[in-house]
Chains A and B, each alone.
Chain A
Amino acid sequence: MPLDSSFEGRSYPPTPAYEVGREKIREFADALGDDNPAYRDPEAARALGHPDVIAPPTFPITFTWPANQQLIDDPELGLDFARAVHGDQKFAYRRPVRAGDRLRCTVVVEKIRAVAGNDMITTRTEVTDDTDAPVMTTWSTLVVRGESA
């Protein structure tokens, strides 16, 4: 059964704050084999004008994807995650994510459409810091293969 397009525009309450840690950033950069000092050395990050070590551009997926889980698990939507693949991903930054940030995610269902027998669902996640200032926005599309595919 196709996904219910009336979910478009639905938003979920902000998630509890995710605290960005220096060691988590280092672990993530290590996993990408990335030795950029801006991810590891506060002095190197400050030399570039950042108050503390910053995170690699794709690091926010570590907390935005779990935030999207609210929607994936919503029984009303009935998304079969076993049939889903990650279709596309976008990040737009107001500023880099950095160690010490306490970030909340608000997930909005931006678009649901059927393409060639598959369902595509795009979410927008607004990320704010503990002063409620916007930090970044992410968009993720899941492609859910049709039953016959």
Chain B
Amino acid sequence: MIAYQDAPVGTALPARTFRVTRADLVRYAGASGDFNPIHWSQRTATAVGLPDVIAHGMYTMGLAGRALTDWLGDPGAVVDFSVRFSRPVVVPDTDAGTEVEVTGVVKKALEDRQVLVELTATSAGVKVLGQARATVRLG
């Protein structure tokens, strides 16, 4: 668990790169119960005007959460977590799929050993989450 005094404003979370393939989306669909075909069927995705199959927004949020909780140690220390789904993560039907890169920085020190963390998630050079932030309680 990160100690409050060891995470002053400006502290960077370890940058993470997550590979995302179609198989990951199928697995997430099953685990989450979100079977919207735009997340696994190219035919459906392109019919509604998307360039290709896209990742579930909540999957991308989950990866950002993973970068956060891996840094924290105790996932139970998250007080709140919010994102805006600004751009889709497009996942081609290839072995390599695509990548989502997540970075984060402590933006503000709050009362009660809490800090505000701002997260950034990009895929193919595009910011895919907006206003991604979390309040966490440190040790």
Contact = CB atoms under 8 A, between A and B. Distances in A.
Nearest to A94: B79
B69 A96 contact: no
A7 interface: no
Interface string A26-44: 0110111110101100000
Contacts of A117: none
Contacts, number: 105
A65 B33 CA distance: 9
A88 B84 contact: yes
Contacts of A50: 76
Given A86-B58, A90-B80, A38 B31 contact: no
Which of A85, A88, A89 has most B Cβ within 10 Å?
Answer: A88
Contact of A32 (B34, B57, B62, B81): B62
Given A38-B75, A48-B74, A28 B80 contact: no
A62 interface: yes
A78 interface: no
Contacts of A2: none
B65 A56 contact: yes
Contact of B31 (A27, A49, A95): A27
B75 A57 contact: yes
B75 A58 contact: no
Contact of B66 (A34, A86, A92, A96): A34
A62 B75 contact: no
Interface string B24-36: 1001101111100
Among A39, A57, A88, A95, which residue has the most Cβ atoms of chain B within 10 A? A57
B36 to A, nearest CB: 9
Contact of A65 (B18, B27, B34): B34
Contact of B69 (A27, A30, A36, A85): A36
B85 interface: yes
Given A28-B31, A57-B75, A58-B61, 4 more contacts: A31-B27, A57-B65, A57-B134, A95-B76
